[in-house]
Structure 1
Amino acid sequence: MSNQEMKNIVWHEVAITKEQRQKRNGHRSAILWFTGLSGAGKSTLANALEQELFKRGLSSYILDGDNVRHGLNKGLGFSDEDRKENIRRIGEVAKLFVDAGSIVCTAFISPFKEDRDKVRHLVADGEFIEIYVQAPLETCEERDPKGLYKKARTGEIPEFTGISSPYEEPDQAELTIDTGRLSVEESVEEIITYLSNRNIL
């Protein structure tokens, strides 16, 4: 989009605020950003957490990496630039959920720290909660639920995170969940405790 075209776009203020939506929902809104290697347990944990949030009557939604690539990000590949654009788009969508007063769980490898930090700065302080779903590469390869590591090792999948493409571990994640040590239930309880202590729930 050219600069001239951008000049013709004006932000339209809405009548109902984020704070009003949060008050109606009975909780604050936030992005719970699950990051980690493929097979670390991001989607499993995000789904289990949302079940608990739903059971409590809270407004929540999951944005999952594979699911989003079936629609919104259908045309993107897995080059570094496409990965960056993938996360940029998801960040903007996640911000909309925060504005809507919901808790949005995003389960994406999101390998680059810079891209995760850009999403963090889209929302107010305390509304972006980075959850590092940690598991050793060996454990992820053993799990290999989609058979992707096997394909990456044989060269069928180029630019695969952890094998032929880098993963930059978070250095200041709000939460680190060791899925090699904790059960899914224990992991969910740890996240719920964090959210309660931060007055999000």
Structure 2
Amino acid sequence: MSTNILWHEASILKQERREQNSHSSFILWFTGLSASGKSSIANAFARKLFEDNKQVFVLDGDNIRHGLNNDLGFDEVSRKENIRRIGEVSKLFVESGQIVLTAFISPYREDRQVVRALVEDDEFIEVYVKASVDACEKRDPKGLYKKARNNEIPNFTGISAPYEEPLHPEIVLDSEHNSIEQCVQQLHAFLIEKGLI
């Protein structure tokens, strides 16, 4: 790390951006197994927020790996770096006064905690999109579970690599037994109750 750098203070404060947007800024961190519905729920909820005139953006695991993190693999070290980078990007969105929705498996509790520690207490909301391996494997829209079972994909979360369920998520969305729309409604009601939107 270079020692020849200094932090440059912004001329526009986070609170000023929030006031202009008429809403708070925070991270909705969607975590869960592959095919649990993280991206589908995040994008559906982003649409709802957008239609309510909220400044919102979705960071999706696959999409980020096409650009920012295209140099990373899926071993444990790479996964940790993937989440670290996304945490830093998410923090920038919070500073910009926006609501950022992140849809990443993020299998390790420690890594999710690292991101939580980057922002203030009320700026990180862990959203556990809960579905069993069996349910996710039956959906398998990308055919990844089948490949993992055939040993074509190493280090696949839920099959050959661990997934550490959140111990105390702010909200659990049971995507195995609820539709995307039901999950969106539950999340919307939760954020209203917390006074965040």
The two structures have a TM-score, normalised by structure 1, of: 0.97
Could you list the per-position Cα deviations for residues 18-76 of structure 1 after superposition, in whole angstroms to 9, with x for gaps in the alignment?
00000000100010000000010000000100010011010000000000000000000
Report deviation, 1:193: 1.0
Stretches of structure 1 lacking an aligned partner (at least 5 in a row): none
Report deviation, 1:114: 0.2
Could you list the per-position Cα deviations for residues 105-141 of structure 1 after superposition, in whole angstroms to 9, with x for gaps in the alignment?
0000000000000000100011100000000110000
Residue 153 of structure 1 is matched in structure 2 by: 149
Structure 2: how far apart are the matches of 1:194 and 1:94? 21
Residue 123 of structure 1 is matched in structure 2 by: 119
Q: Which residue, out of 45, 51, 57, partners 1:61?
A: 57
Which AA in structure 1 matches 2:92? L
Stretches of structure 2 lacking an aligned partner (at least 5 in a row): none
Structure 2: how far apart are the matches of 1:155 and 1:185? 34
Structure 1: how far apart are the matches of 2:94 and 2:13? 11
Report deviation, 1:198: 1.5
Residue 11 of structure 1 is matched in structure 2 by: 7
- How many residues in Structure 1 have an aligned counterpart in Structure 2? 197
Residue 182 of structure 2 is matched in structure 1 by: 186
1:79 matched to 2:75: yes
Runs of 4+ in 1 over 2 A off after TM superposition: none
Structure 2: how far apart are the matches of 1:187 and 1:69? 26
Identity %: 57
RMSD: 0.6
Structure 2: how far apart are the matches of 1:182 and 1:170? 19
Which AA in structure 2 matches 1:57? N
Structure 1: how far apart are the matches of 2:127 and 2:26? 12
Which AA in structure 2 matches 1:90? I
Report deviation, 1:186: 1.1
Report deviation, 1:183: 1.3
Residue 30 of structure 2 is matched in structure 1 by: 34
SS in 1 for 2:45: helix
Structure 1: how far apart are the matches of 2:173 and 2:5? 42
Which AA in structure 2 matches 1:64? D
Which AA in structure 2 matches 1:44? S
Structure 2: how far apart are the matches of 1:64 and 1:99? 19
Which AA in structure 1 matches 2:68? L
Report deviation, 1:181: 1.4
1:106 matched to 2:107: no
Residue 23 of structure 1 is matched in structure 2 by: 19
Structure 1: how far apart are the matches of 2:64 and 2:57? 13
